[in-house]
Chain A
Amino acid sequence: MTARIPRWPGVELGPKDLESGVVTTVRYRPEAKFAWSAGEAMSRFLAELQEGRLIARNCTGCDRILFPPRMFCEECYRPTDAWVYVRDTGTIETYSVSYLDTDARRITEPILVGVVSLDGASPRMGMMHYFGEMSKDDIRIGMRVKAKWRAPKDRVGSVLDIEYFRPLREGEG
């Protein structure tokens, strides 16, 4: 059948056709603003970040320390048990060397970004973040890293209170 269909529908437009009025269009910018309730777990998480600490919740059902923290355990399906601090050191689980910035524009000095599993949390539990004080040639999976915190006065209660993770130095952690 598909071999016999003479014309498959679809009228292709060129890159400029939308912009230049070759075809009629409507331009629109929706108003879609939000203020998400952070709730119990994330409110505390953000407050602790502002203090320069990383906090988790433990679940005695499965004996895990859950990071990022949550008020319920998705495995045991019950409320988690207590607040537990985890360390700001950890291990790179994976990463990318990005020549695209956050707006997908080309850049020459790459952004190093990846997932860090944190010491003190259950295996592999961690967060996405940037990496610094290392080059694209140094970075590797399994590398030990530590958070580089912003100065206390610059912290607002955000994952950006950590500037990036840097290589763990000898004697640290």
Chain B
Amino acid sequence: MTFTERTRDPRAYRHWPGHVEADYIYTSGIAGEHFFRELRDHGRILGTRCAECGRRWVPPKLFCEECFVEVRDWVDLPREGRVAATCVVRVDAHGAPLRTPEVWGLIRFRGFEGGFVHRLLIAPDRAKAGLAVKAVLKPEGSRTGAITDIEGFAPGAA
């Protein structure tokens, strides 16, 4: 029913399909470029340090979120982080059931603002906040300079 008319046959209502289609290439940017080159070439994970307030940040940004000034100093991230929150996902990106659940974590690092939201390479029943984890990197040579160069985070032994 639309205001003053009614289409009698509901099958007459049409739908018009469309796709907001485009391909994207995103640059890592100024801060991201340094981070991903170090990760790819040297397996290092870096954060930034704001000269104004002293806060250390990861992931790195060109600016301090707090002071809104340019950040130029790079610092190494501690090897070990701690899981602050977990999520066990049982469906894929489209909502279809997954055979093996995925475990996601929010990982914090002592002395740093921020952290990573990434996969935890553990069984779902071990997904618990408080777990100490380390980054598991792809082998040198197969790294491309992207966040996927980190395969995920796993308990200390990895």
- Cα–Cα, bound, A65→B98 (Å): 55
Chain A, range 29-62, C-beta contacts under 8 Å to B: 29-30, 32-44, 46-47
- Cα–Cα, bound, A46→B12 (Å): 10
Q: Is the interface of B mostly helix, strand, loop or mixed?
A: mixed
Does A5 count as interface, using CB distance less than 8 angstroms?
no
Does B36 count as interface, using CB distance less than 8 angstroms?
yes
Does B3 count as interface, using CB distance less than 8 angstroms?
yes
Tally of A interface residues using CB under 8 Å: 34
Q: Say yes or no: A25 contacts B18, CB within 8 Å.
A: no
Q: Say yes or no: B5 contacts A71, CB within 8 Å.
A: yes
Does A95 count as interface, using CB distance less than 8 angstroms?
no
Q: Say yes or no: B18 contacts A36, CB within 8 Å.
A: yes
Q: Say yes or no: A32 contacts B25, CB within 8 Å.
A: no
Which residue in B14, B18, B21, B40 is a CB contact (below 8 Å) of A157?
B14
Does A27 count as interface, using CB distance less than 8 angstroms?
yes
22 sampled A-B residue pairs with Cβ under 8 A: A11-B30, A13-B27, A18-B25, A21-B145, A23-B28, A23-B33, A24-B36, A24-B146, A25-B27, A28-B23, A28-B26, A29-B22, A29-B23, A30-B22, A32-B21, A33-B18, A34-B20, A38-B15, A43-B7, A43-B12, A43-B13, A157-B14
Beyond A27-B26, A34-B17, 17 additional pairs, beta carbon < 8 A = A13-B27, A18-B25, A26-B25, A26-B146, A28-B26, A29-B23, A30-B20, A30-B24, A33-B17, A33-B19, A34-B18, A36-B15, A36-B18, A43-B7, A43-B13, A47-B14, A71-B2
Interface residues of B (CB under 8 A from A): 2-5, 7, 12-28, 30, 32-33, 36-37, 40, 144-146
